[in-house]
Amino acid sequence: MVAAGHSRVEILGWLSEVADPEIPVLSITDLGIVRDVEVNGGVTVALAPTYSGCPATEVIEKSVVDALRCRGIEGVRIKRVLTPAWTTDWISADGRRKLKAYGIAPPAEGGTKRELLFGERKIPCPRCESGNTRTVSEFGSTACKASYQCNDCLEPFEYFKCI
């Protein structure tokens, strides 16, 4: 049941405090995986996984239920939304700023994997903003990130891959 007086807007505000377990500087709303909240005698939260098989999906779902339960909302229903599929285009502008401030290069807007593989787009260093960077590995600390290094400031950094 929904605790008396709680609105969809209020619930979305609470969800904006739920951190992504793999990149805790981002909330799940920054990441753009909260697709909808329905308040109709109960609460249903529609979530889109970042990709099929993402190991954080179940952790995020539990975090949503816990965040609402601690505010008096019981029986939260999670609805997994697979279409349209999540892409990095869903990351908010604020989320992109948070990634950069955290030292992770945000995904290139409108970028494709093809551009990155064939060198058509350079990923700017989140520290010094130089475009003189190189791919160290297509695999970073999580499946959604790649490892890069800046050739100017020599700092390593991760890039949130375009999906």
pLDDT grade, residue 54 (50/70/90)?
Answer: confident
pLDDT at 1 over 70: no
User: What is the share, in percent, of the chain residues with pLDDT greater than 70?
Assistant: 89
pLDDT score recorded for residue 118: 57
CB-based contact 43:73 (threshold 8 Å)? yes
pLDDT score recorded for residue 2: 47
Fill in the amino acid letter for 98.
K
Distance of alpha carbon 36 from alpha carbon 83, whole angstroms: 13
For residue range 115-159, list pLDDT tens digits in order.
555 555 689 999 999 999 999 998 888 878 899 999 999 999 999
User: Domain limits of the chain?
Assistant: 8-86, 102-160
Residue bearing tokens 């609460």: 43
pLDDT at 4 over 60: no
pTM: 0.83
pLDDT score recorded for residue 143: 79
CATH topology for 8-86?
A: GMP Synthetase; Chain A, domain 3 (3.30.300)
More confident residue, 20 or 6: 20
Distance of alpha carbon 119 from alpha carbon 135, whole angstroms: 10
**Helix 8-15 and helix 57-69, axial crossing angle in degrees, nearest 10:** 130
In Å, how far are 42, 107, 160, 161, 162 from 91, measured between CA atoms? 27, 9, 11, 12, 11
pLDDT at 69 over 80: yes
Closest of 46, 29, 142, 45 to residue 93, by C-alpha? 29
